[in-house]
Structures are given as structure tokens and as C-alpha cells.
């Protein structure tokens, strides 16, 4: 069923070997990472990591994030990162750590031809502001963190549907469903016409379950419980 999906699947992570392995499968249309994932993976040389990836992947988008918090330094880093390759998208957080919108910087970079991935977006007001900044610019991604929105007890589907409509003012932009929590999110994103969804390494093994017959799934689960109880040697 996965090959019938119209939505583009991007893999999200920072393990070099895993990314290169996934890159052999044309099903994955792009890749994203961020400083937190890189730090957790034990990486210390950002540019070297990016360089090794780009040696092997030049035909699909890869997003690398700036890590500065001051607009001038964010701009310098963005221009540097953008120069790494034509398939590079520069991740810019939607605000600084003080909550100040980065939309002026986004507009400046986008109109200068820098491909952007505006990240950590969670409100429709943010989508509107960023869409206006991207309206006349380069190809871009707007990453709305639907999974974190759901973590807050809010249904992300109506918000994501509205975000798609808002982004119509920026025809070169695509909506990215970020931070998914389950395979169901792929179905939800597909149904509303979202352009891209990221999948973490934790979710990728579950992707083959998409469209699985539930009666068969039930029987497999019953057999698993029985097998494990026998293996444990439980007695009553």
C-alpha cells in the first residue's frame, strides 16, 4: 500500500548509515535532520556530517538547520548551508528563542533564492505570517508540528487542512506534516492533501502495517500472547 501514497515521505534522523541505506530506496523523497537529532547521535562536526551525506545524495531534498538565535548570524549560517548543494533546504525556526518572529529573515532569504524549511510551526497565525514571507520566493517547506499539536490535546487535522489553504498564497511552498506519532498520521496527511510527511526511524518499521487486514492482525496478536506466555513458562 505504501507505493500507492501520493504524499511524499521524508525520513527524519541523523544516523549517517541509516540515511544512506534509506537513500537507496526511491520511496523516500527527501531527508530532514536537526541539531537535537545530531547531538543525540553523538555528532560534533555539523559540516562534515552534511558533506558526507551530500556526497551520496544529490537528487532529493535534504534539510539542515541553522543553530544561531540572532537574525544576522542566522542569515550568515543560512547562506553558508545553502551553498552546500542545490538540493539543500535551510531550516529556519519560526521564531527566535525569545519568541520573535523570523519572518523578515525568511522573506529576505527566500527572495534571495535560498530554499527554506521553516520549522517548529504550530499555530495558524504563524502559518499566515510565514506564507506571506514566502509568497514570492524560492521553493520552500513549512513544517507544522502536527504531532506536538496532538500532544497538547488538539486535533491537528483541521489545523493542517486550514494551513494548506493559507499556503495557497505561496505557490512554491509545500506543507510538511512534522513530528508524526503513528502510521495513522500518514493516512490523515494523505487524505487532506498534505504535500510531505516526515517519518522517524522509530516509525519506519511500522510502515509495512499500512493497510494490513485487521482480522489477520488480531490473530497474529493472539498468537503472540500465547507464544510469549509459553516462552515465559507461566503456570497457574
Residue 228: inside a domain: no
Residue 6: inside a domain: yes
pLDDT at 35: 84
Residue 126: inside a domain: yes
Residue 233: inside a domain: no
Q: How many domains does one find in the chain? A: 1
pLDDT at 222: 98
Residue 36: inside a domain: yes
The C-alpha cell 541505506 sits at 21
Report the predicted TM-score, pTM, of the whole model to 2 decimal places: 0.94
The CATH number given to whatever domain includes residue 34 is: 3.20.20.70
Residue 182: inside a domain: yes
Angle in degrees, 0-180, between the axes of helices 103-111 and 71-82, rounded to the nearest 10 = 30
Residue 65: inside a domain: yes
**Tens digits of residue pLDDT in 119-168:** 999 999 999 999 999 999 999 999 999 999 999 999 999 999 999 999 99
State which residues form the domain around 33.
2-210
The C-alpha cell 517548529 sits at 120
Q: Are strands 62-65 and 88-93 parallel, antiparallel or unpaired?
A: parallel
Closest among 136, 144, 145, 133 to 172, alpha carbons compared: 136
* Per-residue confidence band for 232, with pLDDT thresholds at 50, 70 and 90: very high
Q: What cell was used for 184?
A: 495513522
Alpha carbon distance 28, 185 (integer Å):
17
Q: Which residues is 196 bridged to in the sheet?
A: 8, 176
Residue 96: inside a domain: yes
Amino acid at each position: 500500500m505504501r507505493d500507492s501514497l501520493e504524499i511524499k515521505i521524508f525520513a527524519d534522523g541523523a544516523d549517517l548509515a541509516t540515511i544512506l541505506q534509506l537513500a537507496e530506496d526511491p520511496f523516500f523523497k527527501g531527508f530532514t535532520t536537526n541539531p537535537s537529532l545530531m547531538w543525540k547521535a553523538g555528532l560534533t562536526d555539523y559540516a562534515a556530517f552534511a558533506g558526507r551525506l551530500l556526497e551520496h545524495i544529490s537528487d532529493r531534498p535534504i534539510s539542515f538547520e541553522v543553530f544561531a538565535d540572532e537574525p544576522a548570524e542566522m542569515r550568515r549560517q543560512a547562506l553558508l548551508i545553502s551553498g552546500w548543494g542545490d538540493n539543500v533546504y535551510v531550516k529556519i525556526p519560526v521564531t527566535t528563542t525569545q519568541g520573535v518572529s523570523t519572518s523578515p529573515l525568511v522573506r529576505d532569504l527566500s527572495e534571495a533564492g535560498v530554499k527554506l524549511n521553516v520549522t517548529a510551526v504550530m499555530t495558524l497565525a504563524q502559518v499566515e505570517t510565514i506564507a506571506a514571507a514566502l509568497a514570492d520566493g524560492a521553493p520552500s517547506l513549512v513544517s507544522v508540528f502536527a504531532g506536538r499539536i496532538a500532544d497538547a490535546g488538539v486535533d491537528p487535522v483541521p489545523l493542517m487542512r486550514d494551513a494548506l489553504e493559507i499556503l495557497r498564497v505561496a505557490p512554491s511552498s509545500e506543507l510538511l506534516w512534522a513530528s508524526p506519532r503513528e502510521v495513522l498520521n500518514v493516512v490523515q496527511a494523505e487524505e487532506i492533501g498534505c504535500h510531505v510527511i516526515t517519518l522517524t526511524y522509530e516509525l519506519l518499521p511500522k510502515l509495512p502495517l499500512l493497510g494490513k487486514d485487521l482480522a489477520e492482525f488480531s490473530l497474529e496478536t493472539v498468537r503472540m500472547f500465547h507464544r510469549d506466555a509459553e516462552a515465559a513458562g507461566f503456570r497457574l
